[in-house]
Structure formats: C-alpha cells, structure tokens
Amino acid sequence: MTSPDNSASDRIDVRYVAHLARMHLADDEVARLQPQLEQIVGYVRQLDELDVEDIEPTAHAIPVQNVFRADEVRPGLGHDVVMANAPLARDGQFIVPKIIE
C-alpha cells in the first residue's frame, strides 16, 4: 500500500476502505458507492482553498480538560444483564469464531 500525498486524485479504492471498515460490500454496492463517494470527496476538497497553516484544530467545540472522579468501586450492570443481548453465549461468555487451530 503506497502512501498517497495531498495531491492525490479523488479516486477511492472502495473495496480496500471497506476492508478497513470490516464491512463486506456486494459488487453492485461498490458500483453505486464509487461515484457517490467521489462526488462527496470532490465537494469536501473545497477546504483546500483555505490557508489553515497556523490554525489550531478543534476536537471539541467546548473545551473541557482533566475530568476526574474519585477512584472508588461503583456498582455496574450485572453480568446477566450485560449478557442478555448477546447473539451467542455459553456459560456467561460470548462465543466467537475459533482463531487458533
């Protein structure tokens, strides 16, 4: 995977990005998304016309820093409550596909 620079074209490798997002896409979905995404990315590239060299980025509009609470044990949801929505569980544990032979 080569690292593209800022002057890269708006061509998006939809299948590769879908892989990063852990989301399978059907061929017809890729065909539909491709031009839509490229149109949207073309639109957002209008931000390139602004000089933002010395501008601080905003991560949160209302800055709040160092929010602490007392380091003490507090009650949480019960184990059975947390497991109640699990699509597949056994002995109070989530079941996942085997990853080690």
Partner 1 sequence: MPTLNQLTVHAAADLLARRACSSVELVRDVLAAIERTDRQIGAYLTVDAESALAQARAADAARAAGDARPLLGIPLGIKDLLNVAGQPCTCGSRILQGYVAPYDATVIARLRAAGVVFLGRVNMDEFAMGGSTENSAYQVTHNPWNLDCVPGGSSGGSAAAVAADEALATLGSDTGGSIRQPAAFCGCVGLKPTYGRVSRYGLTAFASSLDQIGPLTKDVRDTALLLGAIAGRDALDSTSLDVPVPDFAAQLGGDLQGLRLGLPREYFIEGLDAKVERAVRAAAAQCRALGAELVEISLPHSRYAVAVYYIIATAEASANLARFDGVRYGLRVEGADPIDQYGRTRAAGFGQEVKRRIILGTYVLSSGYHDAYYLRAQKVRTLIRRDFAAAFQQCDAILTPVAPTAAYKFGEKLADPLQMYLGDMFTIPVNLAGICALSVPCGFTTAQLPVGLHIVGPALREDVILRVGHAYEQATPWHREKPKAAKNRA
- In the complex, the residues that contact partner 1 under the rule CB under 8 A are 1, 3-6, 8, 12, 14, 17-26, 29, 32-33, 36-37, 39-41, 43-44, 46-48, 50, 52, 55-62, 64, 67, 69, 77, 81-82, 84-88, 94, 96-99
Nearest approach in angstroms of CB 51 to partner 1 is: 10
Cα 49 to chain centroid distance, Å, stands at 27
Nearest approach in angstroms of CB 90 to partner 1 is: 13
Nearer to partner 1, 73 or 81 (CB): 81
User: 3-state class of 24 per DSSP?
Assistant: coil
User: 3-state class of 19 per DSSP?
Assistant: helix
φ, ψ (nearest 5 deg) of residue 55: -95, 130
Nearest approach in angstroms of CB 3 to partner 1 is: 4
SS3 content of the chain, % helix, strand, coil (to 5): 35, 5, 60
Nearer to partner 1, 61 or 73 (CB): 61
User: 3-state class of 90 per DSSP?
Assistant: strand
